[in-house]
Structure formats: structure tokens, C-alpha cells
Structure 1
């Protein structure tokens, strides 16, 4: 199914990745699988299952969800780093429908204080990272972090 070729809203859920960033919020693998199953039952289109490069536990959770949850597209977040992208690709590999979501901070404040990179370097890194992710996965999403201040 080509999501771009339809006139419907695509539901992209980040509960399993972004939701765990809240203080005191941590789920076991079993709980994550239960949440992913509920999202499937709700017919969510894309489940961002985690950030596979963040930790061995995140990798394991993304891979387990990719292996066990059929229907939705299973996604892993990855920074614009080859190691992150490779780890994301390995984690989502078992899924019939998979996606790698590559991101990089783009605002001047992030470029200067977080990444210490020039705008041109960020653009080059983003392009290279999307190409690398595309070699591993047919479905790649790119996001510019803090884009509203870019």
C-alpha cells in the first residue's frame, strides 16, 4: 500500500518510543508487545517501536515487535549516524512492513551547541543517511528535529 497515493490519514504512533521518554515511564518487553498488539488492533498504520541504537533493550523490543506484530508498518528511529541506521535496519528486518525513521537536529541553536556542525554539514549528513537507510529498507522517513526554528 502506498501511503502517499491515497487520500486517507495515516496514523503514525510513537507511544513505544517517545512515550518512554517521560520521567518514570518504562515498559517491559512484554508490556511493549501488549501495547504494540493493541495498536495493531486499533489499525494504527505505523508503529514507531523504539530507538534500536539507544540500548540493547530497545533493540530487543523493536526486533520482537517486528517479529511478532503483523499488519502495521514497524519503524525504528535512527540518528544520522551509520551505526544507528544499521542497528535500526537489523531490528526491523523481521517485519513484513518496515520503516527506518532518520532524524537530525536542524535549528541554529542545535547545530551550534548540540552538534557543532555547519548547516551544509547537516544537509550532507541528512542526504547520506537517507541514502544509507534506503539501501537497507524500502520505506524511509526523514524528520528535522526542532525544524520550526530552522
Structure 2
């Protein structure tokens, strides 16, 4: 329940504040991705995947929803599953999720024929977003994992 509230709060902050910020190099951190990863760390694979799926659906319909509904739901469901596995410890898992999610989202967009994904998007915007997301990760992960013990799979 707390994980879902953290993800919802992250979505609201993302849409109302972060996406409107003008940061250097044009990227913004992905707080929803971090909230899903943090919530999944303490809850496991299946709850993480379910939370990621529903968080992704909310991101898909939130403004400015300019892509097909379900694209980000798929990406965040995989992120929730991977983070729930906790392979390599929490820090390694979060870094893996932050690095893979934008590339997976771009790949899914290319598969469905989204013309907005170009080589310049992958080489200019994605790295900036990854750096900003990694910079915000300690704060968001700490907030979403407070009161839970990270769960590690063997």
C-alpha cells in the first residue's frame, strides 16, 4: 500500500513539477521509475511487476501522453520485476534499472513505429535523463524503502 502511494506521489511530482523544469542539457529525472524500483526492492518480483504495470499505465495516460497506452506499462512492469529480484544488491539493481529502462522504452517505441525516437534521441536525450535519474536515485529510493527491509532473491 505504501509503495503504491509513493509511486502515485512520484507521478504527481513528475507531472506537476519535474517535467516543467528547465535543467541543463534538456533532460529530467524519471521519479516514477525510481519509485517503482524502490518499492519493488522491498516487496519482491511479483508485487514489483504489478506495481510497475499499473504505474506505467498511469504514466501512459498522464499528460503529455503522446504514445500508445501500454508502452511504459510494459517497461515499468519489467523494471519492477528486475528490481524485485534484487540481483547484486540494491545499488546495483537501481543502476541497472535506470540504465535499461530508457533503452527498453526506446526499443518498444521503435517496434510500434514511433517516429519521435531517433538516433539523436538515443545519443543526446537518453544519457542526460539517465544521469539526472541516477543523481536523484538516493533520495527517491530512500523515501520509498523507508520502513521496509530490502528483499533479496537467491
Pick 1 or 2: higher relative contact order, CA cutoff 8 A, min separation 6. Answer: 2
The structure that is helix-richer by fraction is 2
The structure with the largest alpha-carbon Rg is 1
TM-score in terms of structure 2 length = 0.30
TM-score in terms of structure 1 length = 0.30
The structure that is strand-richer by fraction is 1
